[in-house]
Structure 1
Amino acid sequence: MARTTYKPAIASAVIIANMIGTGVFTSLGYQLLDIKSGFVLIMLWVVGGVTALCGALSYAELGAALPRSGGEYNFLSRIYHPMVGFVSGWISATIGFAAPVALAAITFGSYLSAAIPALSPTWLAVGLIVVVTVAHTGRRKRSSNFQSVFTAVKISLIVGFCVLCSLMVDEPQAISFLPKLGDGGLVLSGAFAVSLIYVNYAYTGWNSVTYLINEVDDAQRNLPRILITSTLTVMILYVALNWTFLYVAPIAALESKVEVGYIAAQHVFGEAGASAISAVLSLLLISTVSAMTIAGPRVLQVIGEDFALFGKLARKNEDGIPTLAILVQSGLALIFVLTSSFESILLFSGFILGLNTLFAVAGVFVLRWKQPDLPRPYRTWLYPLPPLIYLGLMLWTVFYIVKSQPIEAAMAAGLIVAGVIGYVCARRWETKPPRAD
């Protein structure tokens, strides 16, 4: 049976759904602890969007020049060394997707249980992961339809939520979104840099289609358009959502809260209406969990193709879907849901994923230097500005995270060391002589 592939529209749906998830519906409350300016808060999302777009432009060149599934695992293995790629793949497999799946599922449970208090948020999260796993371990047509339907629902609900809130709010907040004295210093402050980690986490997923390049129709031609248009779409939706939250709800009510969408709905629709809106907003997280369940296991799959120790992870069904890899990632996500707190997962995963993409974007320069004659169907627009902008913003953010959150930085270092150990073990397994009968 001929293997089917994902159409460009489905690939775009994977990116959009990966990006629009936990971060945009939870991080504003944390940002408000140190930043109260409407202009600066919106600038966070604009700067995060520009960062993601610069990263997408850079990844488009890498994906077109090195067309294989696996994302950073493939890129870093080819650009630097197989060990670097393995560590990156280890990070993607353990934190890059399993942790965000857990976060999105936890947020889904939190929003839905706010609407229906009798339901347990933890078991709602577990149930969502199980249902999505079943949907994506069968035929590709079922997987594609599931993803496209819930992504279309997500975009429609976000637009509808923003329009209804702005039209129906009785008392808009007296917050200015124009720059004022002192905003410039705030934009350059450590508080802005640390808040940008939350924003960058919310934009995480702009690179997700590179994890399944081999399964996208005419990937070398379609990849740049898919990456750029999807990232721009999400940037517009993010700015609109955060403008809406700040326009309809007081800062004091949003500060340090996770369910900012629910709180905003309370101030527009009342308690009963907010419960209904909260249930609706929970539906948005279904496509996020779904998209990550499509993209993430492809990293485990290509690791299994390259290392005999993990060979079983490369097994695919008749439609080319890595069923066992999906089950492993979902199992890890369930462990996170049942054992970890929301904030600890968010800070740790945001930091380690920033390091992962930082090395990949730097690889654009390294690859041009090492292999100048390599065919590049797409070259980064306005090169070298996009990769330089991305690297500058990410390095600035990473510096402040190391400075202000040393525990998360130490945990990231420990995860990297574990990846190196895993690579050494995998290589020794490759060279191990066969057992005598």
Structure 2
Amino acid sequence: MTPTDTHIRRRLGPWTATLLIVASMIGTGVFTTTGLLLADIGSPQAVLACWLVGGLLALSGALSYAELATALPHNGGEFLFLSRIYHPAVGFVAGVVSLIVGFSAPVAASAIALSLYLDRVFPGMPTLPISIVIVLGLSAIHAWRVTAGGRFQVLITSCKVLLMVGLIFVGWWRGDPSRLWTGTGDTFAAVLSPEFAVGLVLVSFAYTGWNASIYIAGELANPRRNIPLSLAAGTAIVTLLYLGLNAAFLMAAPAERLTGVVEIGHVAAAGLFGSDGARALSAVIAVGLISTISAYIMSGPRVYEAMGATYPSLQFLTGRGAHSTRGPIAAIALQALLAIAMALTASFEALLTYVGFTLSIFAALTVAGVIILRIREPQLERPFRVSGYPITPVVFVTLMLWMIWNSIGLAPGVAVAGGGTLLLGGALYVWFGRDSATAA
């Protein structure tokens, strides 16, 4: 048991955990990425293939994470796993990356996207400040009471999924299926191209969140059952929704009108319903983005709380107030401040690619850890074992390395930003690592 788990009661059930994953995944990326993919890859078929490969990649990663999370069922995510498997320094850097890249940056990107879609609904209003107020309000909800945050997550995510299903149905009903078979270039060649690998980096941002329930493992009832169940179910649900929704987008308007467009949901809705329909869909997407922001705020601070329980200099991050029913107040506040700072200073596109690239590095390290731990600690109790071992983790790591390598060649600026974040994490470890760490 980790230090931070001793005062936390297991209050959250499988439904909340599954919906947390769905809410974490469905958000900014799916409503902004397909137009960029069309510009880079070429054909609608290759774009859908990219979404399918991304979903299979997320599912294989989720199954691999489930083995680690059920063997080590405590709050902390990659911080806990990598500290145990490699070295506390690697886990610490992963925790810093989670704070900056894994949660604060996606909250910032979602807040920017929320402001763009709110501007479609309420033109002329100061939508970015409104989005920032929403971030602060959701942070307060999750800091106030764990179960209140969980109930809010169930309610808003259920509404979002129902709205997405409705959009998929209407898009398939009113769209033109022949548009799926238009476009330029050979689909098979496109799938094997470096551009497809970089496209997977963008898609991986849209699938970010498939591992969300591992961050609240210490608060899940019956984690050995509910962690793999929520990971597999949540990822499968989102993959099907993504394929259906993106096919609907591609059928809604000609490829040339969608190519390079960030706000593809608005353009697709205009093709299906006209300007009034596009405005209504922007409102729907805004609701979905609020759900995504809420999910990130619920998950991320548990990582920083685990770091605070390990390193005395960061102990302030463990504060939940006088009652264990509170969320980690200081950790939630720190994440909110970082997210707001990024939302005010960075562009949406920069955040999107930065998150996808940097998180791919640690996802690959974590899944590789499944193999390392099997070899090094064969006696460790594993309530869940990843199916298809070792093929499942090997395929995941190989594809991640392919994405990372091609991103370095085609998007060196992203690689520099990601590398800078790793160096920052290492420098902070040198400073705080003087504490007598108790991790791993």
TM-score (norm 1): 0.95
Instruction: Pick one of 193, 198, 202 that aligns with 1:194.
Output: 198
Query: Structure 1 residue 2: deviation in Å?
Result: 8.6
Describe the superposition over 1:211-260 as per-residue Cα deviations: whole angstroms up to 9, x where unpaired.
Answer: 11100011022211111011000000000010000001111221221111
Q: CA RMSD in A?
A: 1.7
| Contact 1:108–1:124 (CA under 8 A) maintained in structure 2 | no
| Contact 2:183–2:255 (CA under 8 A) maintained in structure 1 | no
> Which residue of structure 1 lines up, in the alignment, with residue 230 of structure 2?
226
- Secondary structure in structure 2 of the residue aligned to 1:408: helix
Partner Cα separation in structure 2 for residue 395 and residue 424 of structure 1: 27
- Describe how 1:11-22 pairs up with structure 2 within 5 A: 11-22=17-28
Describe the superposition over 1:2-48 as per-residue Cα deviations: whole angstroms up to 9, x where unpaired.
Answer: 94511110011111100111110001111111223221111101100
1:215 counterpart = 2:215: no
Partner Cα separation in structure 2 for residue 97 and residue 300 of structure 1: 11
Instruction: Pick one of 64, 71, 77 that aligns with 1:58.
Output: 64
Query: Structure 1 residue 168: deviation in Å?
Result: 3.5
1:164 counterpart = 2:182: no
- Secondary structure in structure 2 of the residue aligned to 1:263: helix
> Which residue of structure 2 lines up, in the alignment, with residue 360 of structure 1?
366
Change (3 A) 1:95 1:128: same
1:72 counterpart = 2:105: no
Partner Cα separation in structure 2 for residue 179 and residue 35 of structure 1: 10
> Which residue of structure 1 lines up, in the alignment, with residue 271 of structure 2?
267
Partner Cα separation in structure 1 for residue 410 and residue 356 of structure 2: 14
> Which residue of structure 1 lines up, in the alignment, with residue 260 of structure 2?
256
Partner Cα separation in structure 2 for residue 357 and residue 21 of structure 1: 20
Query: Structure 1 residue 104: deviation in Å?
Result: 1.1
Partner Cα separation in structure 2 for residue 343 and residue 180 of structure 1: 25
Describe the superposition over 1:263-289 as per-residue Cα deviations: whole angstroms up to 9, x where unpaired.
Answer: 101111111221122112211111100
1:135 counterpart = 2:141: yes
| Contact 2:174–2:272 (CA under 8 A) maintained in structure 1 | yes
- Secondary structure in structure 1 of the residue aligned to 2:274: helix
Partner Cα separation in structure 1 for residue 178 and residue 129 of structure 2: 39
Which runs of no fewer than 5 residues in structure 2 stay unpaired? 1-6
Change (3 A) 1:308 1:33: same
Partner Cα separation in structure 2 for residue 287 and residue 175 of structure 1: 31
| Contact 2:8–2:219 (CA under 8 A) maintained in structure 1 | no
| Contact 1:309–1:430 (CA under 8 A) maintained in structure 2 | no
Aligned residues: 429
- Secondary structure in structure 2 of the residue aligned to 1:256: coil
- Secondary structure in structure 2 of the residue aligned to 1:206: coil
> Which residue of structure 2 lines up, in the alignment, with residue 299 of structure 1?
303
> Which residue of structure 1 lines up, in the alignment, with residue 4 of structure 2?
none
Report the AA paired with residue 168 of structure 2: C
Which runs of no fewer than 5 residues in structure 1 stay unpaired? 432-437
Instruction: Pick one of 381, 387, 390 that aligns with 2:393.
Output: 387
Query: Does 299-308 or 401-410 show the bigger shift?
Result: 401-410
Report the AA paired with residue 389 of structure 1: V
Query: Structure 1 residue 117: deviation in Å?
Result: 0.5
Query: Structure 1 residue 320: deviation in Å?
Result: 4.7
| Contact 1:173–1:250 (CA under 8 A) maintained in structure 2 | no
Query: Structure 1 residue 112: deviation in Å?
Result: 1.4
Query: Structure 1 residue 210: deviation in Å?
Result: 0.7
Change (3 A) 1:107 1:64: same
- Secondary structure in structure 1 of the residue aligned to 2:41: coil
Query: Structure 1 residue 429: deviation in Å?
Result: 4.3
Partner Cα separation in structure 1 for residue 177 and residue 259 of structure 2: 15
Partner Cα separation in structure 1 for residue 183 and residue 235 of structure 2: 25
- Describe how 1:17-416 pairs up with structure 2 within 5 A: 17-169=23-175, 172=176, 174-177=178-181, 182-317=186-321, 318=323, 319-416=325-422
Report the AA paired with residue 129 of structure 1: V
Query: Structure 1 residue 121: deviation in Å?
Result: 3.1
Report the AA paired with residue 201 of structure 1: F
Identity of aligned residues (%): 39
| Contact 1:111–1:282 (CA under 8 A) maintained in structure 2 | yes
